[in-house]
Structure formats: structure tokens, C-alpha cells
Amino acid sequence: MTQRVIRIFLSSTFRDFGEERDLLVKRVFPALRARLKDRFVELVDVDLRWGITVEEAERGEVLPICLAEIDRARPYFIGMLGERYGWIPLPDGYAADLLERQPWLKKHQGVKSVTEFEILHGVLNNRRMQGRAFFYFRSPAYARTKGGDYLPSPEDRARQTELKRRIRARGLPVSSYANPEALAKRIELDLWKLLDAEFAASEVPDAFERERLRHEAWLVPFGEQDSGLGPRWRTL
């Protein structure tokens, strides 16, 4: 039977996507959870705004946490792109053990942003994600009305344009939207269409199967209990 706990990773730059993330966390995901409850499906949204401490960022641990959470959330991924390209770690800001586990990062050190790394690791480097990843490109007009953190440097604009081009070239689902409210409505529709098909009402587990799944959910692998990622990301 299909796993009854799903995790959805949210990828975007932070400073210019607070509105979108707040709408998703406070409105869209609670609405989806309510609809999935009768199907005995638990939905966990992975919003790293709440999962990375200042100390971890200063120690260069942002990228390892992002990549690990993407792996835990597979095969669900939501990418939201505006005009900003995002933070690019310094060339020496990569832990040796991370480069050993993810050797593909070496050629991108000091060149690509954490957000692009998320998209590469989560989707572009993994063709099995086709059909399970959704991308949403915000209208440049919205960034112009907001100004400040919503606007890119000339260098970032070129990088962001190229990243969007490569996403489209892969034939991945891409939707354009005018403002955060429009995005919230579109994501709720897109996710429900996918989840309604994957967890059909006609396939709700019986009482015996639900009890078995509850027992499995309590069997947390050794080491996850103290992962430091907080109860929000636990499946229990």
C-alpha cells in the first residue's frame, strides 16, 4: 500500500517569499490536511524557515540540511521562483563530508545559490521526479511593485533567467502567477489533483491496515529522535 505519510519540500529564496510561504503554511496545507484526514493520510510541509538556526548557518550547515530534507520528502517538491537568485555560499563554505557524499557539488562551489542546489538535487538531477515536482514562476511585475529584497542584481537576474530556462526546457510543470494569493489557490488545486489520485477515496485502508500503519509510524529509525530538526518535521 502507498505510504500514508507524505512530506512536501518548499524551495524558494526566503526574504522575498515570506507571503507565499505564510499562505501555504497557514491556509493551503491545513485545508489539504482536512481533506486527507478521512483517507488516513498525514501531510507534512517542510518549510526550512523554521528549521535552520543562526548557529547552523554560521557553521555552513544550511546546504546539508536542505539536501537531506529534500531526500526525506521525495518524491514531492514545490519550487517557487521570483526575480532574486539567492544566497551563494563561499567556495570554502562546504563541509568535506558533504562533498564526499555529493561530489557533483564540487564543480558548482562559489557559483550557484542554495536555492539552485535545492532544485538541482531535488529535481533536475533526478528524472524520477518528473510529474511529482511543481514549479511556480512569479510575475516580475509583482517584484517591481514591492521593490527592495524582491529585486535582483544584474548578475543575479542573468542567473535566475538561465535557471528558469533550464526548468522549462526539461518539460517540468511550470505555472506563472501574478501574486501570492493566486499562487495559494493554484498550489491547492495542483496538489489536491495529485494527492486525490495517489490516495483515492476508494483505497482507504481498513481498520486492520490502519493499526499496522500506526505501529510502523512509531518505529522511528535510531538517530532520528535527536536529529535536531524539530517536531514539525517528525512523522509522529
Least reliable range by pLDDT among 4-8, 198-202, 230-234: 230-234
Question: What's the mean pLDDT in 133-155?
Answer: 96
Specify which of 1-5, 31-35, 129-133, 197-201 reaches the highest per-range mean pLDDT.
31-35
The tens digit of pLDDT for each residue in 77-121 reads: 999 999 999 999 889 888 899 999 999 999 999 999 999 999 999
Q: Tell me: the pLDDT tens digits for 152-193?
A: 999 999 999 999 999 999 999 999 999 999 999 999 999 999
Structural domain containing residue 71: 5-233
d(CA 177, CA 166): 19
Give CA separation, 210 vs 110, 204, 206, 213, in Å. 48, 9, 6, 5
Sign of CA dihedral 204, 131, 99, 67: negative
Q: What is the 3-state secondary structure (H, E, C) of 36-81?
A: HHCCCCEEEEECHHHCCCHHHHHCCCHHHHHHHHHHHHCCCEEEEE
pLDDT of residue 222: 39
Percent of the chain with pLDDT over 70: 81
Average pLDDT (139-146) is 97
Give me the residue label for grid cell 557559483: 111
φ, ψ for residue 113, nearest 5 deg:
-85, 165
If residue 137 lies in a helix (H) or strand (E), which one and from where to where?
A: strand 133-138
Residue 221 confidence class, pLDDT cut points 50, 70, 90 = very low
pLDDT at 209: 61
CA–CA distance, 189 with 97 (Å, rounded to integer): 40
- Which of helix, strand or coil describes residue 133? strand
pTM, whole model, 2 decimals? 0.83
Closest Cα to residue 118, out of 108, 30, 137?
Answer: 108
pLDDT at 210: 56
Output the average pLDDT for the chain.
Answer: 85
Percent of the chain residues topping a pLDDT of 90: 67
Residue type at 134 in one-letter notation: F
- Domain tally, the chain: 1
